[in-house]
Amino acid sequence: MPIRRTWLARAAAALCALSFLSLVPAGSPARAADPKPFVVVGTSDVYDSNLVQTVIEPGFEAAYPEYDLQYVSKGTGAAIAYAQAGTAAALLVHAAALENQFVGDGYSLEKYGRAIFWGDYVLLGPNDDPADVMSTGDHDIVTAFEKIAAAGAAGDANFVSRGGTPGTTVAEHIIWSHTTGVTTCQMSDANGGGTSPSVDTGDCPASINYPDWYHATGLTQGPNIDNADVCNYPSDEGNCYVLTDRGTFQYLKSVDRAQHLKIVTRDNDDTSRGGQSLLVNSFHAYGINPAAFPDPSATNTDAVAAKRFLNWITSAETQEEVGKFLDPSDPPFIPSAAPVLTGSGLPKAVKAGSKVTVTGTLSNVVPGMPALNGEKVSLMRVPTAFPGSAPTKITTAKTNKKGKFSLTFKPAMNATYSLSVGKIVKIEDSHLDPVFGDILHATSTPLSAVKVKGAVTVKKASVKNGKLKVSGALAPKVTGKNATVVLYAAHPGKKLKPVGETKLKNGAKSYSASFKLGSGSWRYQVHYVNAGLIKPGVSSVGTVTVP
């Protein structure tokens, strides 16, 4: 059933909502007197860490007061089963080996789930670390597990697991599959794969025969940590270790819980078995597809509300709030809805016709993800003279197999530039069956401003009927309706001054203009002017005699 908020929780949520006023769309109505229930089922990580109560629930309700977000906290496997029963409109989970099956069975509203944020798993242990994990396993989770299993077999330690198919347990099973010297059974692909400590080998049965030192509690994330903290199991003072998400642990510590535990393993080394990604905890959000059910009206699915939720949680504003949760200096949940797009700097000024090259990289925020290859990156321009105008696409390039790209262009006006990439739909793990993919939000990154110095040449000059006729080339080509060529002229020994101008057509690359001069010898020069868009181009000085 949906979590029922007490009056105290509702009061806290109302206070939290004040920080989300900037996320409320302009003109949004006041909170509806009887808002529509919007059920989100998902991992307990984000509930037991207080992220739902502090950021997700009040933020979404502030942006969409017509909805009452009701979060149902479960392990990922149970949350997916709940969603497939049609009892929710959106799903928030963190186990790729289970999410791919949810998508493959047609329950996702979109092709894949939306990447929303990532965190990390950490191993907690007693303050005195009886299994001596920290001596060699502080950044090596597989070695840490092996040490706990050995200490457990000797009666000196216990391992507390949530059991079942929560995302944390699925991650735990993958870690156990890398160990040696530990008796394990094989988890089925339907349950996320990997292995589990067991007295027996072979395929794991529905009810695993665990060794005495291993305890599956069936609890959600926070209570499971509490269980390990109390550690009411046989051995010298219990001595419990537990794998959990860092966000929940940080929150429990902040409210004076889990005081007998500390982090003993974090940030798996790249060179350790399983690599860095073994402790990466990546979260995705899904809308639940009403078409997956024979009678959508008999379900709690809501495609409109789900799409609004997905767009809201992946928005830049919400992502920023997620990144500030608990500890901005060491955030437990790191925004990952959009990729990282970087680009090299631009010169401050260039001559018209000069080529400029921008290089950069497009990469996933989440460590261990495959390169974002074959993705289109666009160079966008906003004229300095029109700072509020919509960006214009100048050129594009595709990323190579390492996610790198190179763009070459000729700046045509004074402008500020940026790089942009659209929505990315990416297969992240092709080894799973079905494959696992996700959706990354469009993003952009600003580059510096560039000023362009115009160029004008005089290819031909002639005098007839007291007029000087000049013609030549312009660079860059004319943009807009306000460009002109201005003739500067003076008798020998005098300062050149403007004596006439001619308007130029938009798109012109050349000019031809006539200017009336008095009789005598003249020095002259042509200026190409397009105020605000280029620095004026100036021709060389010529001489002419008018009869």
| Mean of the per-residue pLDDT values of the chain | 93
pLDDT for 32 equals 62
Helix (H, G, I), strand (E, B) or coil at 225: helix
pLDDT for 184 equals 98
pLDDT for 234 equals 79
Strand stretches in 180-291, DSSP E: 184-186, 195-197, 214-216, 240-245, 261-265, 280-287
Q: Among 25-34, 66-75, 272-281, where is mean pLDDT lowest?
A: 25-34
Instruction: Please report the sign of the dihedral spanned by the C-alpha atoms of residue 211, residue 217, residue 221, residue 223.
Output: negative
Instruction: With beta carbons less than 8 A apart as the criterion, state whether 414 and 383 touch.
Output: yes
d(CA 47, CA 54): 9
434-461 tens-digit pLDDT: 999 999 999 999 999 999 999 999 999 9
Helix (H, G, I), strand (E, B) or coil at 222: helix
Residue indicated by tokens 């599956």: 216
Report residue 491 as tokens: 């008798």
Q: Among 30-39, 73-82, 282-291, 349-358, where is mean pLDDT lowest?
A: 30-39
Instruction: With beta carbons less than 8 A apart as the criterion, state whether 383 and 415 touch.
Output: yes
pLDDT for 87 equals 98
pLDDT of 21 strictly over 60: no
pLDDT for 237 equals 66
pLDDT of 23 strictly over 60: no
Burial class (CB in 10 A: 0-12, 13-18, 19+), 172: buried
DSSP-assigned letters across all residues of 34-80: SPEEEEEEEETHHHHTTHIIIIIHHHHHHH-TTEEEEEEEE-HHHHH
Cα-Cα-Cα-Cα torsion 427, 428, 434, 440, nearest 10 degrees, comes to -60
pLDDT of 3 strictly over 80: no
Mean pLDDT of 2-22: 37
133-155 tens-digit pLDDT: 999 999 999 999 999 999 999 99
State the Rg of the chain over Cα. 33
506-537 tens-digit pLDDT: 999 999 999 999 999 999 999 999 999 999 99
pLDDT of 24 strictly over 50: no
Residue type (1 letter), 146: E
pLDDT for 238 equals 75
pLDDT for 538 equals 98
What lies within 8 Å, CB to CB, of 102 at 6+ separation is 80, 83, 84, 91, 93, 108, 286
pLDDT for 481 equals 94
Mean pLDDT of 123-137: 96
d(CA 395, CA 357): 11
Instruction: With beta carbons less than 8 A apart as the criterion, state whether 60 and 309 touch.
Output: yes
Mean pLDDT of 11-16: 38
177-236 tens-digit pLDDT: 999 999 999 999 999 999 999 999 999 999 999 999 999 999 999 999 999 999 999 765
pLDDT for 2 equals 37
Has this prediction a pTM greater than 0.75? yes
Instruction: With beta carbons less than 8 A apart as the criterion, state whether 161 and 216 touch.
Output: yes
Q: Give the H/E segment covering residue 340.
A: strand 340-343
